[in-house]
Amino acid sequence: MIDCHDWITYPAAQRAARGIGSPLVAHIHATERDRSGAGEDPRSGAASGRVCSRRPGHLHSLRMRRQVVESYKVDPTRIHVVPWGLDDPGAAPEVPEPQPFPDDEPVVVFVGRVTRQKGPDYFIDMARRVADVVPRVRFVVVGTGDLLPRIIERTVELGLAERVHFTGGVSGLDVDRAFRMATVCVMPSVSEPFGLVALESLRNGTPVIVARDAGVAEVVRNALRADFWDIERMADQVVGIIR
């Protein structure tokens, strides 16, 4: 069997499948609408539509299934929803990990690409509201992306330069450490086919607030939720968790 992931791999996978006569399964991790909003790359949609019309497709949420059926006119019986999962994290570290902040300073973390899709601008605007009522709170943005310069500028505009910390891109065990140092994780994605960050946060014992229509909300039923644009509600939830 040939197993391929996302639209850039589809033409090669289809050619290989024809050449050796093997079955092919295609995974769609996100549509171009999710990634880019109005500025869709038509090649992505065309490739996804062609491969799903001829081969079984795997998606990670019912939300994404509806979107693919609507956008690419694919027969819904050819699509299978397979939610993401995570391996068990194993034993906790035997030696206490060094903490960058004092114990009496709560930490609110954003983990993900700093792009339009992930909603970092809503996170920073929410941070201003939380900082107004919670003394000594810290905010950590873990990740990098094309919006990072603008998010840093917005942080300064809101008078949060002393409270918000930017780590840049991290990987491996450092991602788990970021979750473990946090009091709460906020995932304000504008468009989220699934949202693995939520599972990673919970695996590390950190409460998470998820965007209401994120795919992960279909399987994590007891997480706090808010519309990505509802900064006031997110701030109230963060304050509630901290207190």
Q: Stretch 55-77: mean pLDDT, rounded?
A: 79
What pLDDT score was predicted for residue 25? 86
Same domain, 136 and 22: no
Last residue in a domain, options 41, 66, 81: 81
Position 94 in a domain: no
Shared domain for 238 and 131, answered yes or no, is yes
- 225 and 181 inside one domain: yes
Looking at the structure, do residues 118 and 189 belong to the same domain, yes or no? yes
Q: Is residue 141 part of a domain?
A: yes
pLDDT for 189 equals: 94
Q: Is residue 99 part of a domain?
A: no
Residue 88 within a domain: no
Report helix, strand or coil for 226.
strand
Q: Which of 98, 162, 100, 165 is nearest to 135 (CA)?
A: 162
pLDDT for position 69: 83
- Specify if 181 maps to a domain: yes
Residues 111-142 have pLDDT tens digits of: 999 999 999 999 999 999 999 999 899 999 99
Q: Which domain holds residue 43?
A: 2-81
96 part of a folded domain: no
| Same domain? 63 vs 134 | no
Q: Do 57 and 137 sit in the same domain of this protein?
A: no
Average pLDDT over the chain reads 87
Both 11 and 118 in one domain: the answer is: no
Q: From CA 235, how far away is CA 125, in angstroms rounded? A: 9
- Number of compact structural domains in the chain: 2
The pTM for the full model equals: 0.84
59 closest CA partner among 79, 40, 77: 79
Residue 92: pLDDT band (50, 70, 90) is low
pLDDT of the residue at 46: 55
Q: Judge if 76 and 36 occupy the same domain.
A: yes
Residue 4 clears pLDDT 80, i.e. is over it: yes
134 with 238, same domain: the answer is yes
For residue 166, CA distances in Å to 134, 139, 191, 238 come to 20, 9, 23, 19
- 37 and 144 together in one domain: no
Specify if 92 maps to a domain: no
The answer to the question of residue 90 being in a domain is no
CA 125 to chain centre: 18
CATH number at residue 149: 3.40.50.2000
